[in-house]
Amino acid sequence: MKYPVLITALSLLVALLFALSLVVGVIEVGPLESLAALVRDSDGPLSMVMREIRLPRAFLGIMVGVSLGLSGAAMQGYLRNPLAEPGVIGISASAALGAVIALQSGFSALFALALPLSALAGAAACVLLILLLAGRGGGTLSLILAGIAVSALASALTALVLNLSPNPFAANEIVFWMMGSLADRSFLHVWTALPVMTVGWLLLSLTGRGLDRLTLGEEAAASMGVNLRRLRLILVAGVAASVGAATAVAGAVGFVGLVIPHILRPLVGARPARLLLASALGGAALVLAADVAVRLILPGRDLKLGVLMALVGAPVFFHLIWRMRGQP
């Protein structure tokens, strides 16, 4: 498939799923009536529901999906490993730790943005720790090792907080938050996450040239003028900003960053730079679709987005591995 055609098709898919996300919900109203209520004040609560509940939820679906898909493609390109994902460098685990501490300490109840801001602080701490551990060079191996170490530490500390949790309600809240969801979010979340994510997206969009050249290995890329140290810094900062903000508003949502680049890679001729935009759109489509699905499959039971994603994502991944058998 030609690249412009693919991008157009993915954009249309995202637009379609965005509209679908707006018209699916608890209130039983026709789709046209719902969309009309967005722009025109309706009798009753429909306009309020559309503007204050469904619209921010759909926006967050796109934002979280773009962040996870784009970060996944960038990480895989940088590490030259199709099994890499944003979680590899510990950003999501650290953001989750920040949020968990906020939930546990009661800080999250103080003001509406306390939880996402704590998660962002966790992601920022992770970046500093990784860059400190990985050293000044531009190597990928030191980055991955630092990421695994930070990730393990953050998971252990999260488990410790749960372990020592004095009341079961806080523990319950933490566990549910960690499953990842877009339910009951508001525009406050959108406006908190969007600036941080935008910075992350812009940074990651700068990595394309370097990622393409890294196909030839680090030495060849360096000899062709790629500044590996700068590339790594931009990549880590970009992934931290986008995935940190995504985790801050939606909790831990896995598999998007792993599966989406994997599925789309053959469609962009395996070129890492082209995979960035394609995966951003693909990620948005997947998160929107999954968020519609959680509302349709078990309405009223609050099926968590992260749970559904793992339930769908893992078999998709099995299939991919199955197909890869026998190939070199």
Partner 1 sequence: MSLLTVQDLTVRRGSRATLDQASFSIAPGEFVGLIGPNGAGKSTLLRAALGLIPAAGRSSLARLSPAARPKAAAWLPQAREIAWPVSVAHLVSLAQNENQNAPEVIAALNRMDLMAYAQRPATGLSGGEQARVLIARALAQDTPLLLADEPTAGLDPAHQIGTMQTFATLASEGRGVIASLHDLGLAARHCTRLIVISEGRIVADGAPRNVLTETLLAEVFAIRCLLSDTPEGLVVQPLAQLSKP
Q: Given the rule CB under 8 A, which residues bind partner 1? A: 80, 212-217, 219-220, 222-225, 227, 265, 269-272, 328
CB 204, min distance to partner 1, A: 18
CA dist 89 and 96 (Å) reads 13
Closer by beta carbon to partner 1, 173 or else 218: 218
DSSP string, 63-103: HHHHHHHHHHHHHHHHHT-TT--GGGGTHHHHHHHHHHHHH
User: What is the C-alpha R_g of the chain?
Assistant: 20
Closer by beta carbon to partner 1, 136 or else 301: 136
CB 263, min distance to partner 1, A: 15
CA distances in angstroms from 53 to 58, 109, 219, listed in the order given? 9, 20, 50
CB 221, min distance to partner 1, A: 9
Q: For the stretch 204-229, what's the b/e string if a residue is b when 16 or more beta carbons lie within 10 angstroms of its beta carbon?
A: bbebbebbbbbeeebeebbeeebebe
CB 5, min distance to partner 1, A: 17
CB 218, min distance to partner 1, A: 8
CB 201, min distance to partner 1, A: 22
Closer by beta carbon to partner 1, 54 or else 213: 213
Closer by beta carbon to partner 1, 172 or else 223: 223
Closer by beta carbon to partner 1, 93 or else 277: 277
From the list 109, 83, 94, 53, the residue with the least C-alpha distance to 261 is: 83
CA dist 285 and 179 (Å) reads 20
Q: How many CB atoms lie within 10 A of CB 123?
A: 28
- Kindly tell me the burial class for residue 233, based on how many C-beta atoms sit within 10 Å of its own C-beta (0-12, 13-18, 19 or more): middle
Closer by beta carbon to partner 1, 141 or else 224: 224
